[in-house]
A and B are shown apart, each in its own frame.
Chain A
């Protein structure tokens, strides 16, 4: 489903992603972990083309885009982007639109689908993420957990092949984390392909088919969740997990 090869991303003279290789199979849930500043967000943003990589190849579904000195065309990048949906740490709902308006906005204006069908579709999706009763509220009137669930529904409305989550719960009060994680688990059970950046190790252990550990611009270790999280092979993975245990 996803295949990334030799991906490199620089900001001016700071190289954040040195050379990233990994792949994700259809229906797989992959958790991306690593210390702060290791480039997890940057990698996810590259997959959604919110950042344009300097070098390397990204394939999602049946679309392959090669990044080089000469940037790929806008059309190619839009095509690649259309296979992934992004959920941000800070939700970024549209504040001037109600929940239902938020989630039908893109399919309405981009895919030019019929509004009535979209509302129908949207309400079913809101039901699934437990937001149906809040469908006519503005984001400002919602808790963080509710906003994040609406944001997940908004991304799902575009029917992406892959869902990308960047620390979906780290902006939330502790008591709101569970409701969001439950929604993501539900999606996992339905076979949605997902890449999730998270610091919630218990959640990763429960949900991930595979865990990737990132540091200094490389993926240093990868494998099944219990292997990477319980018996890490690499020294830096051990240090990282040790540090998390100490702070918990």
Chain B
């Protein structure tokens, strides 16, 4: 065991100096990653709320398109969808000016389906008695949704929504395949030049991890805020 440990040539596995020197390049990539992630989270959430509410509607012409949309987006790989957007759509004469925009559009549309499902299940998990109590107090649909149901559903939706957010951050790496120069792309660039892929990919992994840790910190704070009305037992 110890022998095996001593045999490993650590400098081939991880070269801290190279990692340190490549930080500026990687940060450039991280900037693109964060831009894609941020806009994708934002639009995926907004679109998800809309589609989620539509998917609960009593009206078939609202519910049906939402259901089909969710089914399609959940049932197709994100990468395939990105390919379709980036390489396929130009055939129709519409072209994304930058692959970044294609990535944002693709990720927003894809992850909106997951957000929609989270939002639907969170709203449905608020007990029916809450709707009835509100109705009997003469509160209207929108008022009840806004002041009674959504605050309670938010608490339930927070953890799965942050899972989706983390998937979005990690999912941005797929954009490298449609030539977006984000974090993974930059690490591959340096790796190609220095022939040290291991160092670069480990560094990239650590950076993704740190970003997710920061996101997790916000999740924690939000959860605490939304759980404050529950007494500890």
Q: Is A140 an interface residue (CB 8 A)?
A: yes
In whole angstroms, how far apart are the Cα atoms of A140 and B97 in the complex? 54
Q: Is B138 an interface residue (CB 8 A)?
A: yes
Interface of A toward B, CB cutoff 8 Å: 48, 50, 78, 81-82, 84-86, 88, 90, 92-97, 105-106, 109-110, 138-141, 151, 154-155, 158
A110 touches B137 (CB 8 A): yes
B138 touches A50 (CB 8 A): no
Q: Is B31 an interface residue (CB 8 A)?
A: no
B138 touches A96 (CB 8 A): no
> Known contacts A106-B139, A138-B229: does B151 contact A88 (CB below 8 Å)?
no
A92 touches B132 (CB 8 A): yes
B136 touches A50 (CB 8 A): yes
Set A94, A106, A138, A151: member contacting B138, Cβ < 8 A: A106
- Interface size bracket, B side: 20 to 34
> Known contacts A109-B143, A110-B143: does B231 contact A81 (CB below 8 Å)?
no
* A208 CB, min distance to chain B CBs, angstroms: 23
| Chain B residue nearest to A164 in the complex (CB) | B136
A92 touches B229 (CB 8 A): no
> Known contacts A88-B132, A88-B133: does B139 contact A96 (CB below 8 Å)?
no
* A94 CB, min distance to chain B CBs, angstroms: 6
Q: Is B1 an interface residue (CB 8 A)?
A: no
In whole angstroms, how far apart are the Cα atoms of A50 and B148 in the complex? 17
Chain A residues lying within 8 Å of B132, measured Cβ to Cβ, are 50, 88, 92
In whole angstroms, how far apart are the Cα atoms of A88 and B229 in the complex? 21
Q: Which residues of chain B (106-154) have a CB below 8 Å from chain A?
A: 127, 129-130, 132-140, 143, 147-148, 151-152
| Chain B residue nearest to A95 in the complex (CB) | B229
| Chain A residue nearest to B135 in the complex (CB) | A50
Which 9 A-B residue pairings sit nearest by Cβ, starting from the closest?
A106-B137, A92-B133, A92-B129, A86-B136, A138-B229, A141-B231, A110-B138, A96-B151, A140-B231
Interchain residue pairs with CB less than 8 A apart (21) = A50-B135, A50-B136, A78-B138, A88-B133, A93-B133, A95-B230, A96-B151, A96-B155, A96-B229, A105-B137, A105-B139, A105-B147, A105-B148, A106-B134, A109-B143, A109-B147, A110-B143, A138-B229, A140-B231, A141-B231, A155-B137
A140 touches B229 (CB 8 A): yes
* B119 CB, min distance to chain A CBs, angstroms: 17
A48 touches B136 (CB 8 A): yes
* A171 CB, min distance to chain B CBs, angstroms: 11
Q: How does the 8 Å CB contact mask read for B141-182 relative to A, with 1 for contact and 0 for none? A: 001000110011001000000000000000000000000000
Q: Which residues of chain B (9-67) have a CB below 8 Å from chain A?
A: none
Chain A residues lying within 8 Å of B138, measured Cβ to Cβ, are 78, 81-82, 106, 110, 158
Chain B residues lying within 8 Å of A141, measured Cβ to Cβ, are 231
* B31 CB, min distance to chain A CBs, angstroms: 38
* A58 CB, min distance to chain B CBs, angstroms: 15
Chain A residues lying within 8 Å of B140, measured Cβ to Cβ, are 110
* A99 CB, min distance to chain B CBs, angstroms: 11
Chain A residues lying within 8 Å of B231, measured Cβ to Cβ, are 138, 140-141
Set A78, A81, A92, A106: member contacting B130, Cβ < 8 A: A92
A88 touches B137 (CB 8 A): no
Chain B residues lying within 8 Å of A78, measured Cβ to Cβ, are 138
Given A95-B230, A106-B139, 15 new contacts (CB under 8 A): A78-B138, A81-B135, A81-B138, A86-B133, A86-B136, A88-B132, A92-B127, A92-B133, A94-B133, A96-B155, A105-B137, A110-B139, A140-B230, A154-B137, A158-B137
